Amino acid sequence: MTEIMSDPKADEMVEQFRQRCKEVGLKVTPQRVAIYRALLDSKDHPSAESVYRTVSSVMPSVSLDTVNRTLLTLAELGVAFVVEGTGDVRRYDAVLDNHQHFRCIKCKRILDFHCDEFDNIETPEFLKDKCTVLRSSVYFEGLCSDCQEQES
């Protein structure tokens, strides 16, 4: 049986997740904790199916539907977010620090990067009058170096 690994920073984030659930009156279930832990332990930006494979290896009774709904709940709670894409399956990210994303259009890999200039993008005036912007993100698409190499 595969184990979901533990690390001190992830343990701290899981505790913060537990507290956030309590704040909003959401039950802290073993499934929710396992799904959040799998997302935290992921080194990429997993889809619900990928998280499901990880969690179901240690919790066989969990369903893909439960994983899907829980990942969306994690995003609503603000402990994870959906990496916006171009029509592919949703991908999730538990890294909440300021960062941006690059997505390879060939292999679909999503890479994190950080550029200070993108941290404080000003909301255009015409939006300020009509909307309240809660979050902005910068997202690039292209070919990663591995895929460029394969094409050469």
Q: Which helix (H) or strand (E) covers residue 12, if one does? A: helix 8-24
Alpha-carbon distance 40 to 100, whole Å?
Answer: 17
What letter does residue 92 receive in the DSSP assignment? E
Report pLDDT digits (tens) over 125-139: 888 889 888 778 888
Q: What per-residue confidence (pLDDT) applies to 61?
A: 95
6 band by pLDDT with thresholds 50, 70 and 90: low
Question: Is pLDDT of 150 > 60?
Answer: yes
Average pLDDT for 59-65 = 96
Closest CA to 74 of 112, 24, 111: 24
Domain ranges of the chain: 8-83, 97-151
Report pLDDT digits (tens) over 13-51: 999 999 999 999 999 999 999 999 999 999 889 999 999
Average pLDDT for 112-116 = 92
4 band by pLDDT with thresholds 50, 70 and 90: very low
Q: Please tell us whether the domain made up of 8-83 is placed in CATH 1.10.10.10.
A: yes
We find that the CATH architecture of domain 97-151 is 2-Layer Sandwich (3.30)
Alpha-carbon distance 26 to 136, whole Å?
Answer: 27
